[in-house]
Amino acid sequence: MFTPGGIIALTTDFQADSFYIAEMKVAAHRVARDAMIVDVTHAIAPQDVKQASWTLLRAIEAFPEGTVHVVVVDPGVGTNRKILAAMIHGQVIIGPDNGLFDVVASRYPVTAVVELNNEVYFGPRRSCTFHGRDIMAPVAGHLVRGIPLVSLGDAIHRPLVTPQAKANSFAEGTENEIHGQFVYADSFGNCVTNIFEDDIPDDWDRSQLRVESGLFSVNGIASTYGEREPGASVALLGSSGQLEWAVVQGSAAQKYGFNVGTAVKIVRESH
């Protein structure tokens, strides 16, 4: 059972100067005037569902139970793709069924999923190209007001994420290596991977590991950026608990040109 906590969190690819953001907030506010509406980010790269899916993971780990997330990165808006509301990690995520849920549903159990098709809870406008304003934001408002999740549409009983998508979302380990990939660059140009702290065995000496990507490598996994000189490359476990490749007081994304999907691995030297 979902107990709303009064927060609606917005994640979009609209960019910060877009009037669309205000339209969504007004649509939610009209339904739930007391809700706290929080901007997670509106700087997702246009139509970049994969970046949005990793940002969503960070968001649900940061927000309290009872939060309603509205995620609008929707290249297929107006097509026959479904809009879903899924309860995960004590929160509800509203968004298109286009791969957006792959990462979070691979990491945390999915409690319930419904397709948003009960038009009673939609907004008064029905544009084919702005479901964030006309469907998702009003539905979020109704959830915050206490409307049960099951009232919003038909229950979905299939897995929210396919086994293939789940396998592709996270790192794989061998006896002396962990293989992953870069999944996004943050606003500082730090390149974040899909290798998590709990992927690294406890008995591996992090100071003796090597992180490699293509022709480049970094020796040791540091605890903080300040362990290296300005301009030096450093591998460390960032605030998300994910391995990242950074340049101290610089941008690894610019220096190395790493792209989303570029392979990266941790190597443990065998003795």
Mean pLDDT of 38-60: 94
- CA nearest 157: which of 122, 110, 121, 119? 110
* Cβ atoms within 10 Å of 169's Cβ, excluding its own: 21
* Structure confidence by residue, pLDDT tens digits, 134-163: 999 999 999 999 999 999 999 999 899 888
Over 90: is that where the pLDDT of 208 sits? yes
pTM of the predicted model as reported, rounded to 2 decimal places: 0.91
What are the pLDDT digits (tens) for 211-225?
Answer: 999 999 999 999 999
Q: What pLDDT score was predicted for residue 271?
A: 55
**What pLDDT is recorded for position 147?**
96
pLDDT tens figures, 80-111: 999 999 999 999 999 999 999 999 999 999 99
CA distance 14 to 23: 11
Q: For the chain, which domains are there?
A: 7-165 (3.40.50.10790), 170-268 (2.40.30.90)
Asked if residues 251 and 233 have their Cβ atoms less than 8 Å apart, the reply is: no
